Amino acid sequence: MNELIETLKQQVIEALNLEDLTPADIDADAPLFGEGLGLDSIDALELIMILEKEYGIKLQSPAQGKEIFKSIRTMAEFIQANRTR
């Protein structure tokens, strides 16, 4: 799980072009949207693309992302339970 969290942090930094951040700067339990990293709806689409491309999980609607993308940890838990690759 910890390994997945670290990989995920790196993938999020790359996909969202958060060039000022290192994985160590991201708290796995901090909110990704709003108060925490301050991501928005377009970032959510990029996160959905990570799920699809890297883990073979296809979401049907962006609304499903709301629970999944609460934090890096919730995202990792969802991936572990649903990944097809």
Partner 1 sequence: MNPSNPIVVSGYGVVSAIGVGKEQTLASLREHRSGIAPVLYLATVHRDMLVGEVKLSFDELMERVGVPSDAEAPQSRTALIGRLALREALQQAGLTTSDDYARTALISGTTVGGMDRTEIEASVTPDGQIVHYNYDCGTSTLDIARGFGQFAFVDTISTACSSAANAIGMAVELVRQGHFERVVAGGSEGLSRLHLNGFNTLMILDQQPCRPFDAQRNGINLGEGAAYLVIESEASALRRGVKPLAVLRGFGNACDAYHQTASSPDGEGAVLAMRRALDDAHLQPSDITYINCHGTGTPNNDLSELNALHRVFGDKLPPFSSTKGFTGHTTSASGSIEAAFCLLALHHHFLPINLNFQTPIPLSPSGGIEGGFDIPVVADVKFNLPPLRGNEGVLINSFAFGGNDSSLILSSYPEPQTPPQAASSQPSQTPQTPHSELRSRAPKEATPQTPQTPTRTVYLLAQTLLSPNVDPNFRDYLAPLESRRFDKLLKRTLCCSLETLRQYPDLVPEAIITATVWGSAVSAISFFHDMMRQGEAFLKPTLFMQSTHNTMSSLIAIQTHNHGYNNTHSQLSDSLPHALLDAWLQMQSGRVRSALVGIHDSIPAFDNRSYLLVTADALPPDCHPLAEFTTFSELSNLSNPQPPQTPRSELRSRAPKEATPQTPQTL
Enumerate binding residues for partner 1 (CB under 8 A): 15-20, 38, 40-42, 45-46, 48-49, 52-53, 61-62
- Rounded alpha-carbon distances, angstroms, from residue 56 to 25, 27, 36, 50, 69: 27, 25, 27, 9, 16
**Least gap, CB of 2 to partner 1 (angstroms):** 26
**Cβ nearer to partner 1, comparing 30 with 62:** 62
**Cβ nearer to partner 1, comparing 1 with 21:** 21
Express the helix, strand and coil content of the chain in percent, nearest 5 each: 60, 0, 40
**Least gap, CB of 73 to partner 1 (angstroms):** 21
**Cβ nearer to partner 1, comparing 29 with 58:** 58
> Residue 58, class by beta-carbon neighbours within 10 Å (0-12 exposed, 13-18 middle, 19+ buried)?
exposed
**Least gap, CB of 8 to partner 1 (angstroms):** 17
